[in-house]
Structure 1
Amino acid sequence: MNRTLLLFLSLLGFTACTAAKENTSSNNTSKTPVAHSTIVDCVLYDGMTKESTQLASITPGSEVQVTDTVDVYFVKARVTKDGKTVNGYMYRTCFPQR
């Protein structure tokens, strides 16, 4: 009896933890790109360091699609330049605070 009850409670606790984990991950991230306008001259980089290759220069007022918030300093972005879509990383300071 005690063994069955212990097994049941363990299974119930595991299920609750798994359900809570699934709910938080699905609510915090959005896979849809969000359009933003830049407020200063910015650069689209191929990586997240100052030594990264510059893919494009972005002028103020340009529309950029933010596809992911990577970390505290960078966002993953998509821009269209000369008819081509370019993916890279931009500093968060290129955009107004929300």
Structure 2
Amino acid sequence: MAEKAKFSVSLDAELGEALRRYAEAEDEQISAVVSRALEDFLGHRRLLRDGRDAMEGYQAEQGRFTEEERAEADAWLDGILGSGEKGSRSA
């Protein structure tokens, strides 16, 4: 079993109540729900950071992306994410 650390956090009342309801409905401890959510969130943020670092490294070696390359990448992501809203993909 992994070592545990205890934290005290403050949440908006509505978020705290939603957390309680969810944990109860899933028959889980609140700490298990929060731990899983944080693992998912931090993993996602790590992927975003690694991708950003890879793009910056590529551009440092190959030069900045052109407007055409940026537009092509935006269109590709819009197709994958099904969204044409600019800024919806920012980290």
Q: Could you say whether these structures have the same fold, taking a TM-score greater than 0.5 normalized by the shorter chain as the test?
A: no
The normalised TM-score by structure 1 is 0.30
The normalised TM-score by structure 2 is 0.32
Q: Which has the higher contact order (CA 8 A, sep 6+)?
A: 1
- Specify the structure having the higher radius of gyration (Cα): 1
Report the structure, 1 or 2, having the larger helix content.
Answer: 2
Report the structure, 1 or 2, having the larger strand content.
Answer: 1
